[in-house]
Chains A and B, each alone.
Chain A
Amino acid sequence: MKKLILSLLFAAVCMCGQAWASTAEELYQNGQYAQALSAYEQQLKDYPNNPFLYYNIGNCYFKMGSRGLAIANYYRAFELNPRDADIRHNLELALSGSGESLVPPGMPQALHRSFFVLSVTELKGLLWACAWLFCLLAGVWLLTRKAGKLTVVAGVLLLLVAGWFYIRHSWQSEPLAVVASPKAELRSGPGTNFPASATVTQGHLVQVTDQKGTWQQVVLRGEGLKGWMEASALEHI
C-alpha cells in the first residue's frame, strides 16, 4: 500500500513536470518567446544547475533578438554540459553573429573539444577517482612492497588530472561577461563625463577587471580594447 502511494505521488510529480515543459514548448512554437522564457526561468529556480534549462532560456532570448543574453545562457549550459552537441552548436552560432568564436584563434578544434570533454564538476570527480586509486595502490605498496610501478603510474595520472583541473578551474573563474545591450559605450573612465572611445554591439565577450560603483572596467579580448562600461549593459557569465 505504502509503495503504491509513493508510486502514485512520483507519477503525479512527473506529470506536473511534463505539463509545464509542454506548455513552455507550445509557447515557444507559437512565437510567444517572452512567455516561454518566464516559464523556463521559473523552473530554473528549482533546478539551478540544469544545463538544458539554460539552453532553452538561451533559445528564447535568441529568438527575441537579445543575442547577448542568449550567449550568456548558452555559456552557462556549456559549462555544465560541454559535450552536448546542440549547446555547442547554438553557442558557436550566436557567437559568430558577433564576430566571436568559442574556440580561441589558433587552437585546433579537436584540442578544444578534448579539453572541454568534461565539465568542471566531472573533472573534480575524476580528480577524486585518481586520488583514490593512488591511495589504494600506495597502501598496497607500503604493506607488501608490491605494485610499485602501478603506484607510480597512478601518481603521474593524478598529477596530470590535477593540472587539467587547475587550468579549467582558473579558466572558468575568470570574470567573463557578455555585452547584453544593443549598443554599449566604452568610456575612458567610470562615468558619462569621460568620453566614449568606442561602441560595442551586443554579443561581444569581455573580461571584467575592475568595478567602481555602477561601472565596470572591461577588456575586449579579441581587439585588446580596455575601458569602462555601465554594469547594466553587461551580463556576467
Chain B
Amino acid sequence: MKKIFLCVCFLTWATLAMAQVRLTAKTDKTDLALDDELTLTVQVSGISGTMVMPQLPSLPAFNVFSRETAQSITNGHTTLSFRYIMIPRMVGRTTIGPVTFKYGGKVYQTEPINIRIYRSAVPASAQTQRQPAKTAGTQQAAQADASAQMPPLERELAAQAYNHREPYFLVSAVSNKTPYVGQSFTLAVRFYYADGFYEAAYSNPTVSNLFMEDNGRSQGRQTLHGTVYNYEEKRYTLSGAGAGPASVGEASVTYRVESLGNSLFDRFFGGAVVSKPVTVTSQPISLSVRALPPGQPASFYGAVGSGFTMTAQLDKSETEAGDAVTLAVMVKGPGNLKTTSDLVFPSFLGFTSYPSVPQSGVLQNDSTRSYKLFQTVLVPQASGTYTLEGISWSYFDPTAKVYKTLTARPLSLKVLPSANPERKLDFGSQTPLGNGIETLQQDIRYLKTDTDTSLSLLARLPEWKWLHALVFMWLAVCLFMACIGKKTAAKKHAYQHAKTQLKKAKTYEHISDALSGYIRNKWNISTASLPLKDIVTALQKRGVSADSLRTFATLWKELESVRFAPVAPTDTALSAFVTRAAQLLKTWEKHV
C-alpha cells in the first residue's frame, strides 16, 4: 500500500514537472541586411535532470557560426538558454522552422519565425552623389534595386549612415513621421563604430507628445565606403499621445578609445593611453501626430493598426449553477496594446460577472506585436443552455483609414442544476414543480400578438362627463328640494300635527304648545318671545278674521292663567280647553 502511494506520488510529481516544461525561440530582429548577423535564442525552462540539446530546423538561408549555452537551476528546475549567431546567405524571405525539443517522451515545438533578408545597400540618392558619373550606370541601378527591397526604417538608417565617414557616429530614424493618435511605430538608434571602444555610456532620447517603450537591442555589421562598421542598435516602440506636433530628441553615446602614446617610452613598453570621453549624438526628429477620424464605434478602445486578431473562449463548456467559469478574450496585434482602454464586457443575463484586471505583453516570437487578455469570471444563476453573445472589439486601420470591428463567435455553455442544495442559486432546484417538470432557465415571455385592447368599463367611466354633470345636478336638485320642501311640508301638516298634539295633551301646557306650533308652522310666527298683543297683530296681518282672533286671545289668556295655577287640571276642564282649541284650529284651517 505504501509503495503504491509512493508510486502515485512520484507519477503525480513527474506529470506536474513535465507539464511545466516551456520552450521558446525568438530572434533579435526579423529584417536584416545580407552583411548583418542574426541572433536566435532558444530557451527551455521547467526541466530537471541532464541537459538535452534542442534540435534546430534546417537553415539553408543561414550559416551558423557561433553557439553559446547557459544553464541555471532554480528550485530544482533547470533553465537552458541556447544562443545561435547566424549570418544570412541569400536575399529574400525565409522561415526559421520550429525548434524541437524532446523531453519525458514528449516532443515540444516552437512557432516558426519569418525573416526578411535584404541586400546591403544605401539609397540611390546618396550613392549617386558619391559615384563618379561614368561609373554610375549599372551600379546605381543595382543599388536602387537593393534599397527598394529594404524596409523604410532600415533604408533611412542606411542613408543617414552613408553620410558619415568618421569612425564613430550615431544615427536615428522612425518608421512613421505622421502617425495617428495611438498608432505604434518604431524608433531605431544605431551607434556605428569602425574601431574598438570602451566605457560607452548611452543616453535615451527624450520625447514629447509620445509614449515610448523599450523594444530590445541588437548588433549588426555594415560596410560603408569600403570600411566595415559594427553597430549597436536600440529600438523603441513609440505611439502618439495626442494630435499635434511631436518630437524625438537627441540620443547620445559617450565613449572612450585606446590610443598609443607618442613618447618613445610609451612605444617601447607598449603602454596604452586612454583618450578623453567623446560624445556623439543623433539628429532630433520632428513628427506630426494625426487625430483619429470621427465615427468611432462603441466597441473602439483606442487600438490603431492593422492585422489585429481576437479570440474568445470559456475555460469549460459545461458547469453547474453557482460554479464559476472564466471567459477569456485575447486580442493580438501590432504595437503596444497595453495603452488601449479595457474591454467592457456586456452584461450576460442570468450570470453574475466579476471582471479581472487585463494582462498585456509583447508576443514572444514578434516583439513588434503585443497581446491583451481580458478575463471575467461568470457565475450562472440557474441551470439551462446559454449562448453568450459575440463580443465586439474595434480598431482603426490607418492604411484603409476606416474603423474595423472584430466580433468573436457566440459561445455556448451548458449549466447543470447545482448538486449542492445549500448553494441556493439554481432556480430549477429551488422551485421543483413536481410531475417530472424541471425548470431550466428563465426568459422573458413572448410577444403579445393581439395588441388590440379595449378599455374596461372602469377605465371608460372618467370619460362620461355628461353623466358626472347629471349626478351632480341630481344632488343639487335634491338639496334644493330638501330645503324648500321642509318648510312647505311643515305648513301643510301644521293642522294635523297640532290635532295630534291636542289629542295627546295631558296638561294645559301641551294645549298651549299645540297652538304655538300651529301658528309657527302655518304663519311662521314664533309665539315664544312675543306678547299676546303682538301675536294678534301678526296674525291680523296674515288675514286672520277678527272673530277668530278674539276667540284665540280669550283662549290664550285663559291658558296662560291656568297653566301657572297651583291646582292640578281636572279632566273635564282640560277636555273643555282641548275642544275649544280644536274648534279654533278647525276654524282657522277652514277660513284662512
Closest to A124 in B: B462
Q: In B244-264, which residues have CB < 8 Å from any A CB?
A: none
Contact residues in B for A138 (Cβ distance below 8 Å) = 475, 478
Closest to A99 in B: B352
Q: In B444-465, which residues have CB < 8 Å from any A CB?
A: 444-453, 455-462, 464
A97 to B444, CA, bound (A): 12
Q: Is the CB of B461 within 8 A of A90?
A: no
Interface size on B, residues (CB 8 A): 39
The interface stretch among A59-67, A100-108, A169-177, A205-213 is A59-67
Tell me whether A32 is interfacial, beta carbon within 8 Å: no
Contact residues in B for A43 (Cβ distance below 8 Å) = 451
Contact residues in B for A182 (Cβ distance below 8 Å) = 344, 346-347
A126 to B230, CA, bound (A): 98
Distance in angstroms from B354 CB to nearest chain A CB is 13
Tell me whether B5 is interfacial, beta carbon within 8 Å: no
Q: Which of B445, B453, B478, B485 contacts A89 (CB under 8 A)?
A: B445
Q: Is the CB of A139 within 8 A of B459?
A: no
Closest to A36 in B: B447
Q: Is the CB of A97 within 8 A of B349?
A: yes
Tell me whether A219 is interfacial, beta carbon within 8 Å: no
Distance in angstroms from A123 CB to nearest chain B CB is 8
Contact residues in A for B467 (Cβ distance below 8 Å) = 132
Contact residues in B for A183 (Cβ distance below 8 Å) = 344
| A43-B451, A143-B482, A182-B344 known; A136+B462 contact, CB < 8 A | no
| A51-B453, A52-B451, A86-B448 known; A142+B478 contact, CB < 8 A | yes
Closest to B461 in A: A125
Q: Is the CB of B444 within 8 A of A94?
A: yes
| A21-B449, A93-B442, A142-B482 known; A136+B471 contact, CB < 8 A | yes
Tell me whether B472 is interfacial, beta carbon within 8 Å: yes
Contact residues in B for A126 (Cβ distance below 8 Å) = 458, 461
Q: Which of B389, B457, B462, B482 contacts A65 (CB under 8 A)?
A: B389
A182 to B453, CA, bound (A): 33
Q: Is the CB of B481 within 8 A of A56?
A: no
Interface size on A, residues (CB 8 A): 48
Contact residues in A for B471 (Cβ distance below 8 Å) = 131-132, 135-136
Q: Which of A50, A93, A125, A132 contacts B460 (CB under 8 A)?
A: A125
Q: Is the CB of B458 within 8 A of A122?
A: yes
Tell me whether A28 is interfacial, beta carbon within 8 Å: yes
Contact residues in A for B444 (Cβ distance below 8 Å) = 59, 62-63, 89-90, 93-94
Q: Is the CB of A56 within 8 A of B485?
A: no
Tell me whether B474 is interfacial, beta carbon within 8 Å: yes
Closest to A128 in B: B461
Q: Is the CB of B458 within 8 A of A50?
A: no
A124 to B344, CA, bound (A): 46
Q: Is the CB of B447 within 8 A of A56?
A: yes
A129 to B445, CA, bound (A): 35
Q: Is the CB of A122 within 8 A of B447?
A: no
Tell me whether B503 is interfacial, beta carbon within 8 Å: no
Closest to B443 in A: A93
Q: Is the CB of A121 within 8 A of B462?
A: yes
Closest to A17 in B: B452
| A21-B451, A50-B453, A52-B451 known; A129+B458 contact, CB < 8 A | yes
Q: Which of B349, B447, B456, B477 contacts A139 (CB under 8 A)?
A: B477
Tell me whether B479 is interfacial, beta carbon within 8 Å: yes
Q: In A181-237, which residues have CB < 8 Å from any B CB?
A: 182-183, 201-202
Distance in angstroms from A61 CB to nearest chain B CB is 10
Contact residues in B for A62 (Cβ distance below 8 Å) = 444
Tell me whether A25 is interfacial, beta carbon within 8 Å: yes
Tell me whether B468 is interfacial, beta carbon within 8 Å: yes
A97 to B352, CA, bound (A): 9
Tell me whether A53 is interfacial, beta carbon within 8 Å: yes
A150 to B577, CA, bound (A): 46
Q: Is the CB of A65 within 8 A of B346?
A: yes
Contact residues in A for B478 (Cβ distance below 8 Å) = 138-140, 142-143
Distance in angstroms from A50 CB to nearest chain B CB is 6
Q: Which of B347, B442, B448 contacts A67 (CB under 8 A)?
A: B347
Contact residues in B for A24 (Cβ distance below 8 Å) = 447
Interface string of B468-499 (1 = CB under 8 A from A): 10011011011101100100000000000000
Distance in angstroms from A27 CB to nearest chain B CB is 10
A86 to B347, CA, bound (A): 23
Closest to B474 in A: A139
Q: Is the CB of B474 within 8 A of A90?
A: no
Contact residues in B for A67 (Cβ distance below 8 Å) = 347, 349
Tell me whether A55 is interfacial, beta carbon within 8 Å: yes
Distance in angstroms from B303 CB to nearest chain A CB is 19
Distance in angstroms from A142 CB to nearest chain B CB is 4
A164 to B436, CA, bound (A): 44
Q: Is the CB of B451 within 8 A of A50?
A: yes
Closest to A84 in B: B448
A90 to B446, CA, bound (A): 9
Q: In B403-460, which residues have CB < 8 Å from any A CB?
A: 442-453, 455-460
Distance in angstroms from B280 CB to nearest chain A CB is 48
Closest to B347 in A: A201
Contact residues in A for B468 (Cβ distance below 8 Å) = 128, 131-132
Taking Cβ atoms with an 8 Å cutoff, the residues of B that contact A are 344, 346-347, 349-350, 389, 442-453, 455-462, 464, 467-468, 471-472, 474-475, 477-479, 481-482, 485
The 12 sampled A-B contact pairs (Cβ below 8 Å) are A50-B453, A51-B453, A63-B444, A67-B347, A125-B457, A126-B458, A128-B468, A131-B471, A135-B475, A142-B478, A142-B479, A142-B482
Which 8 pairs, one residue from A and one from B, show the smallest C-beta to C-beta distance? A139-B478, A125-B461, A125-B458, A52-B448, A142-B482, A122-B458, A135-B475, A52-B451
